[in-house]
Amino acid sequence: MKRALFLLTVFVVLPVLAMFCVYQVALMTYASETVAQDENTPSLQADHDFYMMSQTEHLAKAKGLCQQGASRDQLFQARRHLVTIPIGAPEYGEAMSLLAQIENSMKPERGQGPEIRGQGRKSTAGGR
């Protein structure tokens, strides 16, 4: 009986206890990393506020972000607001128009961006 209790302790209780301790350390590490956010990471409250906005509010916010001289980051934020507006919403048409303007303004000028067409891999097999 003592042998069975010893084996149960060694092979069941101690490994479970060790796994629990590892889990607790990992959980505390994860919690401390998520609490230490930099200023670029949106808070949970900001995320909640974003998803609670109406379509009209999303459109108004996107328009505000797209003012003359808007930075690339502001354009990305405006795009984020616009893509949340569903197809059936009355604001959808205006949102897609503004989204197209944003997409066009974010495209690199001809000759500035990487050229994708015609850049296939050239074979040097056969020395030709």
What range does the domain containing 66 cover? Answer: 45-106
In this structure, is residue 53 part of a structural domain? yes
Q: Which of 105, 102, 100, 98 is nearest to 55 (CA)?
A: 98
Least confident residue range of 32-41, 71-80, 112-121: 112-121
Euclidean distance between CA atoms 8 and 24, whole angstroms: 23
Q: What is the pLDDT of residues 16-29, one digit of tens each?
A: 787 877 777 777 77
pLDDT digits over 45-57, tens only? 777 888 889 999 9
- Show Cβ contacts of residue 85 under 8 Å, excluding neighbours closer than 6 positions: 55, 58, 59, 91, 92, 95
DSSP assignment of 25-52: HHHHHHHHHHHS--TTSPPHHHHHHHHH
CA-nearest of 83, 88, 89 to 56 is 89
Is 92 within a domain?
yes
pTM, whole model, 2 decimals? 0.52
25 belongs to a structural domain: no
Residue 106 has pLDDT above 50, yes or no: yes
**What is the count of structural domains for the chain?**
1
In this structure, is residue 90 part of a structural domain? yes
Question: What average pLDDT does the chain have?
Answer: 77
Give the other-Cβ count within 10 Å of 33's Cβ: 9
- In a domain, residue 74? The reply is yes
Q: Evaluate if residue 116 carries a pLDDT over 50.
A: no
Report if residue 78 sits inside a domain: yes
